[in-house]
Chain A
């Protein structure tokens, strides 16, 4: 089987070969050429560069709103201008009632969201892992996700009456399917090479999940969490309008109260509150998402 091909020639020794030091220097040179990094601009500049487009958009929106008010399309007690709404909001934030209502709403949101993460996470991993479970309930999860959360309220109110539990029930049902779907697609899209690599190194079962599969699935899981939050927040707002728990004021119930009192300024002020919370949570998710992408080298290079 073995064939020996031997070539004798003086050139084998005559060709000069780089010494260890030469190789070292050449490698260092190549490394330096290929890893040049540009300096980061200062923090204040970075914050300003992401803030000014948002401020501009808000100012344009407020101007358009004011223009509609000036046009006289609706009487000013039905559609007040942004100045009035903002000053009403400014007055409200100085009261304890506003903050206790906001605190209750946020507490409901966090409790419901946390429970949805737990349930959605467990269901997601189980469905991704077991083929039978996937063919059994996989498509139902997406169907559940597309159901408007408001249709759950009649059942929730019958089951739990006008209580915190009714709201929690709907928030969890709203958010959990998105989170489960994020987990499922995250695990489905883990590159097989990485799983093979983990197994080569001896990782099995839970360890393989913890060290390789979970971090590899993270981007999709975060997308699911973000979408889950949006569903949780919508469900919660719908719930607070419909399920007013006696003696438990919240952002939603304040909004409903203002409507019943024909207080359009109050309605607008509470809607701004809801919007601001939405913007803040989105900013937090985006910051986390950017951080994750930056670590993994998935951010586009800066353009200036």
Chain B
């Protein structure tokens, strides 16, 4: 049993999630299965209604599947949202410290760890800034630092760069890749941007919509570091986009 847990950081097995009942039943996830190896970067790609937020909620332990199992062993799961979701009444440092405060980490330890995490996302010395004094990209980095403050071994990211301008997003791809390599964390990265998925992922899990099902899993065999505008990334993205279109077209009938 332990061997199984060690082989994969996250094992999602036959997970279904149904909301409501009777005629108001919404089948958000249907028999979703895949797994992620420790330290693997897995991108979840899907159009609207693929149940990605539901899946992340189940992984983060704030929702339960109707059937099936999610096994992360004794790993800690951190969640990062599309909107940076920083608490506006706290400073950047206060936001990063929050998960530690909830866990009861002593104040002195919190302070040192906050400095360390802000340095990790290249925001050293900005602990006293308020979220509104930071740019969108900086807020997302604070949010990333806060996700790491949950001492996460598995980081679930819900379209974290979706609202950023292209240049900032490209830089944050590089940053995230660096941090991922430095920390060895397992990342499940949800996006609807095919190129972003190919730029970042070791594998791309393509989800179909309503109900959310695994349509296909692509291995991205490209060497790192990659560029989002390189021809190889573009070529694989085209192949995946075609497959995604097939899935979306099914809903037009």
- Chain A interface (Cβ < 8 Å from any Cβ of B): 1-7, 9, 11-13, 15, 17-18, 20, 23-24, 26-28, 30-31, 34-35, 37, 193-194, 196-203, 207, 211-212, 215-216, 218, 292, 295-298
Question: Nearest Cβ distance between residue A200 and chain B, in whole angstroms?
Answer: 5
- Chain B interface (Cβ < 8 Å from any Cβ of A): 57, 60-62, 78-79, 81, 83, 85, 87-90, 98-99, 101-103, 122, 130-138, 150, 167-168, 171, 174-175, 178, 214, 216-219, 221-223, 225-227, 230-232, 235-236, 239-240
Q: Is the CB of A296 within 8 A of B98?
A: no
Give 5 CB contacts A-B under 8 Å. A2-B219, A12-B223, A34-B135, A194-B87, A200-B60
Q: Taking A5-B239, A20-B178, A296-B132 as contacts, is the C-beta distance between A193 and B85 under 8 angstroms?
A: yes
Chain A positions within 8 Å of B218 at CB level: 2-5
Q: Is the CB of A215 within 8 A of B227?
A: no
Q: Is the CB of B135 within 8 A of A2?
A: no
CA distance A202 to B100 in the complex (A): 10
Chain B positions within 8 Å of A202 at CB level: 99, 102-103, 150
Closest 6 CB pairs of A and B: A297-B132, A34-B135, A296-B88, A201-B99, A6-B221, A17-B225
Q: Is the CB of B102 within 8 A of A12?
A: no
Question: Nearest Cβ distance between residue B40 and chain A, in whole angstroms?
Answer: 14
CA distance A191 to B235 in the complex (A): 41
Chain A residue at smallest Cβ distance from B221: A6
CA distance A295 to B222 in the complex (A): 45
Question: Nearest Cβ distance between residue A66 and chain B, in whole angstroms?
Answer: 47
Chain B positions within 8 Å of A6 at CB level: 219, 221
Chain A positions within 8 Å of B223 at CB level: 12-13
Chain B positions within 8 Å of A296 at CB level: 88-89, 130, 132
Q: Is the CB of B135 within 8 A of A297?
A: no
Q: Is the CB of B217 within 8 A of A1?
A: yes
